Amino acid sequence: MKAAKSSVWDLYNGAKQYVVPLFQRPYVWSRAQWEQLWSDIFEQYTMQSDRRPREKIPDRFLGSIVVVREYEKNLDKYTIIDGQQRVTTISIILAVIRAFAKERNLNELYEQISDFLRNGPRSGEGQYVVIPTRV
């Protein structure tokens, strides 16, 4: 096992896919967990938008995410062992921000978030970064 500090950028950037296996519990986060995560994200955003130098902005721990790498041709694929509620919620937040950007013709932001949520020109399941197995 290898532990590493990663950012949300690291989690979503590049051609990779996270699969939520069937043995994981269904999505159960409620308003309390969403609000805490949103508060953490918004606080980080506020610090960055205050134009503070990057090295002075403290990192924010959003919780552990444990994955097992599966080997697939041309795609880094990971099975989520722990952290699927967080990963799913971050994906939902990104999708909402993307919809907001599209409504307001913020095309650059829309494209950037689309790149986070999808793996480029792939088709089928390979195009999505997060794959739930229960829907």
- Could you list the mean pLDDT of each consecutive 10-residue stretch along the chain, which spans 135 residues? 76 86 88 89 77 65 85 83 91 93 94 87 76 74
pLDDT digits (tens, 9 = 90+) for 3-33: 777 888 888 887 888 999 888 888 899 999 9
For the chain, the domain total comes to: 1
Q: Is residue 3 assigned to a domain?
A: no
Specify the pLDDT at position 30: 92
pLDDT at 75: 79
Q: Is residue 4 one of the residues assigned to a domain?
A: no
CB contact set of 132 (below 8 Å; sequence gap of 6+) = 20, 27, 88
Continuous segment of H or E residues that includes residue 78: strand 75-82
Specify if 5 maps to a domain: no
**CA atoms of 30 and 10, how far apart (whole Å):** 26
Query: Domain range for residue 16?
Result: 11-132
Nearest to 86 by CA among 64, 58, 114: 64
User: How high is the pLDDT of residue 10?
Assistant: 83
Answer yes or no: is 2 within a domain: no
